[in-house]
Amino acid sequence: GNSVTQMEGPVTLSEEAFLTINCTYTATGYPSLFWYVQYPGEGLQLLLKATKADDKGSNKGFEATYRKETTSFHLEKGSVQVSDSAVYFCALSDLTGYGGSQGNLIFGKGTKLSVKP
């Protein structure tokens, strides 16, 4: 079935370091791909998305490119800040659905990022 695998954390970086969080997926068809961010004590917020191969999603200095040939959607940021400390989730839209329903998101297990000053 469809699934998302992302690198296990926690990831600890110094401020201004380069960030990569790996995400690979298994899916039938052509799913949309997403990165969500969860700050402490809050719900998930959509960070960026890409809906077709070779699309690049970007937001707040983060970016990720939909790579169909490697089934990947790695999250990158050139210079992280302390305020980027959060848990990051990779997700795909489940085109097969549960019981025939389309559109349900399948999430990876999350990667906790801690940025030290």
Partner 1 sequence: IAGITQAPTSQILAAGRRMTLRCTQDMRHNAMYWYRQDLGLGLRLIHYSNTAGTTGKGEVPDGYSVSRANTDDFPLTLASAVPSQTSVYFCASSDSKTGSGGYTFGSGTRLTVV
**Which residues lie below 8 Å from residue 111, measured CB to CB, with a gap of 6+?**
6, 7, 8, 9, 10, 11, 21, 87, 88, 89
Q: How many residues bind to partner 1 according to rule CB under 8 A? A: 27
Q: Which token pair is 82?
A: 């302390």
Site string for partner 1, 63-92 (x = CB under 8 A): --------------------------x---
Give me 98's structure tokens.
């549960």
Q: In the stretch 27-46, what mask flags binding to partner 1 with x, by CB under 8 A?
A: ----xx-x-x-----xxxxx
Closest CA to 50 of 80, 20, 75: 75
Q: Which stretch binds partner 1 (CB under 8 A): 15-23, 63-71, 78-86, 96-104?
A: 96-104
Residue numbers at the binding site for partner 1 (CB under 8 A):
31-32, 34, 36, 42-46, 49, 51, 89, 93-95, 98-105, 107-110
